[in-house]
Each structure stands twice: as structure tokens, then as C-alpha cells.
Structure 1
Amino acid sequence: MPASPDENATPAGGEEGGAVRRSGLRNPEAAVRGLGSGTLALEAIVLLLAIQPIKILGGHLSGWGIGLVISLAVVAAVLAGSMRRSWAWNAGTALQVVLLAGGFAHWSLAALGVIFGLAWAYATYVRKSILG
């Protein structure tokens, strides 16, 4: 009787006899790219939707501040489509730092930087745990 896939699976504790630990995903690279792309796409949408509330609540966000928010949203959207590139994950991390530094323009950008920085940190953690 042939062995079931569970009998050949590597234990969760690590590698056994040189076997690679499997994630159970058919294409783990694509799954991780999808997670990164989804996070960045959501960030782009939230940034664009945040412009009007920032103007109403803050009042002091000038034209260059709005330009900064739009630029960050465009960069996030472009990075979401570039997740196949090797540099995209590092650029996504840099984007989170720039968004956090945008708190100097308005406090709500720092709040968004913290929220999406944590989401990006989780995405990179999942990437590392799945791909190794």
C-alpha cells in the first residue's frame, strides 16, 4: 500500500534527513507575493481615501502634504505590481519608513505608518517562515 502524503511530511520541528520543510501550498512563492501585493494595494487605497479626512480634521495639510500622500499611494501601487522583483520587499520596507516619517507633515500619516508598518512586518514574517 502506498504511503500517504502525511507519512512523508517533515515534522514541524525542522528538517529530517535533508528533506525540505513543506508549507502545504502548491506555489508558496506566489502565495507570499500575493500577501505582499495585497498589503501594498490596501495601503494605496487607504492612503488615497485618507486625504479628505486629513484635510477636514487637520486643516493644515498643504498642497505638498497632499502630494506626499498621493506619491506614497502611487509608490505603494507600483510596488504591489512589482512583487516578482527581488528588490520589491526591501522597497516596501522603505515605503513603510517613509510613511512613518510622513508624521512630520500630519500625525495621521504616522498613525497609518504604524498600522501598515505592523502589517508589513507580519507579511515579511510570513514570507520568511514560508520561504525560509
Structure 2
Amino acid sequence: MAERDEHPETPEEAEAPWEAEPDPNRSGLRDPARAARSLAAVALAFEALALLMAIVPMRMILDEPTPATVAVIVLVIAAVALAGMAKRPWVWPAGAVLQLAVIACWPIHWSLGVAGLIFACVWLYCWHVKRQLALPPKR
């Protein structure tokens, strides 16, 4: 019986969304805040992956790779933890601090600083998307 309620047998029983007036404040997404959180989590996960891939070249290039390896592992743990807590509102500023921390690794090796600048741009874009999704759509 419950299945009959979910899937009407005739078209007359089905809802006609084209007949109702659409909500002008709706973005078209079912949950815009969730979409923004998911984007942030994916960006942080990709950052963690990119930082993990930086460990091997750092160990090959640097004379003393231990500080670089420790710094990268700490940053990876922070990125994964933030990606897992993307539902929390404080993750957005914490993600910006993470980007600054990666940029601050420039003295260890310039490539870490460049990666930090690139991911800072990605984070700014994610923040921009979050703000745009919070606004009512322009029609």
C-alpha cells in the first residue's frame, strides 16, 4: 500500500510540478548548503591527496626530508579531519587557516608554497560558491 502512494498508477494521480508556481527563492538544488559542504569536503580531500603525493619527491629532493615529511603528514591529517567535519560552520575559516599553513611551508620547499597558493585559490572558489548558493537565484 505504501508503494502505491509513492508511485501513482495514473498520470492524474501524479503531482504536476509544471502547474505549480515555482518558488523564486529556490536555487534549483534540493539542499544548497549540503552542496557547498560537499564541495568543501571534496576540495579538502583532494588537497590531502595532493599533499600525500608530495612526500616522495620531498624525500628524494631534500637533504634532510624529515621536517618536510612531518609537516606534510600533519597537514594531511588536518585536511582529512576538516573534510570529515564539513558540516560544522567553523570548517570554512579553519580551511582558510589550513591554506595559510600550507603556504607557510614555503621555506621547507617552494613547491609546498606553490601548492598552498593553488589550493588557497580553490578554497576561495569554494567559499564563493557557498556564498552564491546562499543567495536567492537571479531569474
Give TM-score, length-normalised by structure 2. 0.78
Larger radius of gyration: 2
- Quick check: which one's helix share is greater? 1
Q: Name the residue aligned to 1:24.
A: 28
Q: Name the residue aligned to 2:110.
A: 107
Note if 1:4 corresponds to 2:18: yes
- Structure 1 residue corresponding to 2:122, chosen from 95, 100, 119: 119
Q: Name the residue aligned to 2:134.
A: 131
Q: Identity percentage over the alignment?
A: 37
Q: AA paired with 1:59?
A: L
Cα separation, partners in 2 of 1:73 and 1:3, compared to 1, 3 Å = closer
Q: Name the residue aligned to 1:17.
A: none
- Structure with the bigger RCO (C-alpha within 8 Å, sep 6+) is 2
Cα separation, partners in 2 of 1:128 and 1:6, compared to 1, 3 Å = farther
| 1:28-52 Cα deviation digits (max 9, x unpaired) | 1111110000000000011011111
SS in 2 for 1:89: helix
Alignment length (residue pairs): 120
Give TM-score, length-normalised by structure 1. 0.82
Note if 1:75 corresponds to 2:89: no
Structure 1: runs of 5 or more not aligned: 11-20
Structure 2: runs of 5 or more not aligned: 1-15
Cα separation, partners in 2 of 1:129 and 1:48, compared to 1, 3 Å = same
| 1:82-130 Cα deviation digits (max 9, x unpaired) | 0111211110010001101111111011110011011101000000000
Q: Name the residue aligned to 2:66.
A: 63
Q: Name the residue aligned to 2:48.
A: 44
User: RMSD of the alignment, in Å?
Assistant: 1.9
Cα separation, partners in 2 of 1:114 and 1:24, compared to 1, 3 Å = same
